[in-house]
Structure 1
């Protein structure tokens, strides 16, 4: 039977972490919002994930690609750690009232709903900051939520396209190629965490909160800080190479090259190119091209010569030849190979066992603090797993909790109160 009385088992009681004592209400879904919420939880905050009765979309994302059709989504399991789930129907007035009552106990609101959605429920930044002047209200959006493009649709790939990131990937002879990871989502989440911590620090000095705005388009352009500076000041568009060069401003041989049995990455200063040429028996072909700024102006020709030669060699042979030159080189590994590297897996990968999700592994945040290791208290929660616990902590009496569950305004992960 579902219990609605008793002692709370809130997060991190007695522990001291950078964000111990900070309560976050996270209205988050998809990627950027949950990643930011998870990071705050890993820093010690008590993060309450506010979910609709249907749950975060990512609970079912890519489930069709998993081995077991009824297994939770690995996407959800990987980016919703260190959070508690309160499942509540914000379309119901009684649910909106509950959230407003919880605001007095909250330090941070984190949300990545479409602009205007929370405002229509009376849960926008202006309304909640007026209710709690110490509140930090962080909005994550595709575009500046206070700007003219606020209502345009956006997603990682769309922002890569619009920002120019995608224009820099791929060969000059082919179409642009976007990054194979959700880099804008993850970077935006990191910026949100930085902004929230900065606002909390200022609140320590002023006793007042503020609205923190983070948008994916601005973050994407910040990812392009050096490339944008080139475009703004040199008044030139960056160009892609045709033969392996994987950055618009790097000279040969910077890039990815196929070998007979795989691929390798090469990074070398132009002064090392004669040694690279000699190691690959290409001195006569490459050195004449290096006069002046040839490593830049003739980089495609040099890369084409290197490509032809490296395709004839195995990766091991290429490594044995090139390693003595002192240049940077590495095999192109799969994600699985990278995660199996003991230098990475020993600290980055953690195994979880939980009633929701069973036994699985997750990748942790990269930050390392000598005096306060990141928190790993909670796996990703079942939908509504902590609904009763959170409402009880917020001062909602048991009869009212039962009524909210009975009306469908609140969902719990177990059977309704009073039922076995």
Structure 2
């Protein structure tokens, strides 16, 4: 089958999570992604997670950079800049996520690139946008969660603001990047016109909360977090996680009467309207949980699922990967890496009958494709050796 993005070349100047995940998605739909890194490698190559590297490789880097080729360049050198311009000249997409004007200072901004590639799709994804009062401030997922209000709606009532435990803004930003690259490419296919695409993490953080912000801005009500851990600030009981005799289950949006019947509950507060289920949610949760604590998890799940109650077990990752549905969907897979060996990761999460995504290769070693890409640009082996000696590039696979 011909990949959907076969023939599309992406010059990828991104780093960290948001940009690299976006370009990984494009790569696995068939795009040729050339990851252009500084000579010492992008930051996540050396970022320890839980204080650990994986056989000398950054675990976070390994998560977000498969199916790409790596080229190292000193973009501040004349020759490094010239090679980068040769790469972007034939690229369909240029994508970067530096602070505003960094690419301009390197002579690789939108105006510079369109001089040699006028129909390019040029994507800039900054923290706050290209201009404005915060444009030069640092931005990162946790910072964006915080300024957007996200931690204020998580956790229990009385707790400090509680951020999401994963980089949800980066991940949502990555999806926005990939989506708008595709939209711009579709526009170019129709009109022949490239364009500049500006995205930013602050807007991604706010867009992520479209429902919650709408509720807060339009409903004349003061919403409080649940003291007993109802999982969503804007919903009533039973929505949340419940302790069992040997674990936990999640009970989603269900009529409380269903739980009363199945579990033979007696609830001493009103719950027969959505308003009452919200106002009395903490007491309702306490009374439901007093009953679920008497059940073994497997027995409770079997009983509730038989009555079509929306319920699931709360799993650890080690249990999740062995779930029969997870195995059936083949969403967890193994990839062979030249230094790490076999590593377990998450497969592309979609099935397509004509253009399925594919993991083409493991995350690249630093500068692994330097000589290969230079050869495609017309450089010979001796020129590559000279560029390495002069520090314009690094030796393929070097960790220095």
TM-score range, shorter chain: over 0.9
Aligned partner of 2:146 in structure 1 is 161
Aligned partner of 2:164 in structure 1 is 179
Whole-angstrom distance in 2 between the partners of 1:118 and 1:398: 29
Aligned partner of 1:326 in structure 2 is 308
Q: Which secondary structure state, in structure 1, belongs to the residue aligned with residue 70 of structure 2? A: strand
| Deviations 1:276-298 (CA, angstroms, capped at 9, x unpaired) | 12333322525x44367311222
Aligned partner of 1:370 in structure 2 is 353
- Relative to structure 1, the CA distance from residue 218 to residue 403 in structure 2 (aligned partners, 3 Å threshold; closer, same or farther) is same
Farther-moved stretch of structure 1 (20-29 vs 159-168):
159-168
User: What value does the CA root-mean-square deviation take over the aligned residues?
Assistant: 2.1
- Relative to structure 1, the CA distance from residue 289 to residue 23 in structure 2 (aligned partners, 3 Å threshold; closer, same or farther) is closer
Whole-angstrom distance in 1 between the partners of 2:366 and 2:379: 20
Unaligned runs of 5+ in 2: none
Whole-angstrom distance in 2 between the partners of 1:176 and 1:335: 25
Whole-angstrom distance in 1 between the partners of 2:333 and 2:273: 52
Aligned partner of 2:326 in structure 1 is 344
Aligned partner of 2:371 in structure 1 is 388
Whole-angstrom distance in 2 between the partners of 1:261 and 1:102: 57
1:301 aligns with one of 283, 300, 304: 283
Give the C-alpha shift of residue 64 in structure 1: 6.3
Give the C-alpha shift of residue 327 in structure 1: 1.6
Unaligned runs of 5+ in 1: 1-14, 416-420
| Deviations 1:127-159 (CA, angstroms, capped at 9, x unpaired) | 212331111111122222244322111111111
Equivalent pair of 1:35/1:189 in contact (CA under 8 Å): yes
Q: Which secondary structure state, in structure 1, belongs to the residue aligned with residue 40 of structure 2? A: coil
Whole-angstrom distance in 1 between the partners of 2:160 and 2:166: 18
TM-score, L = length of structure 2: 0.93
Q: Which secondary structure state, in structure 2, belongs to the residue aligned with residue 257 of structure 1? A: strand
Give the C-alpha shift of residue 400 in structure 1: 3.2
Give the C-alpha shift of residue 32 in structure 1: 0.7
Equivalent pair of 2:54/2:340 in contact (CA under 8 Å): no
Give the C-alpha shift of residue 354 in structure 1: 2.9
The answer as to 2:25 corresponding to 1:39 is yes
Aligned partner of 2:4 in structure 1 is 18
Whole-angstrom distance in 1 between the partners of 2:116 and 2:222: 48
The answer as to 2:188 corresponding to 1:203 is yes
Aligned partner of 1:149 in structure 2 is 134
Give the C-alpha shift of residue 113 in structure 1: 1.6
- Relative to structure 1, the CA distance from residue 106 to residue 69 in structure 2 (aligned partners, 3 Å threshold; closer, same or farther) is closer
Whole-angstrom distance in 2 between the partners of 1:34 and 1:284: 50
Give the C-alpha shift of residue 198 in structure 1: 0.7
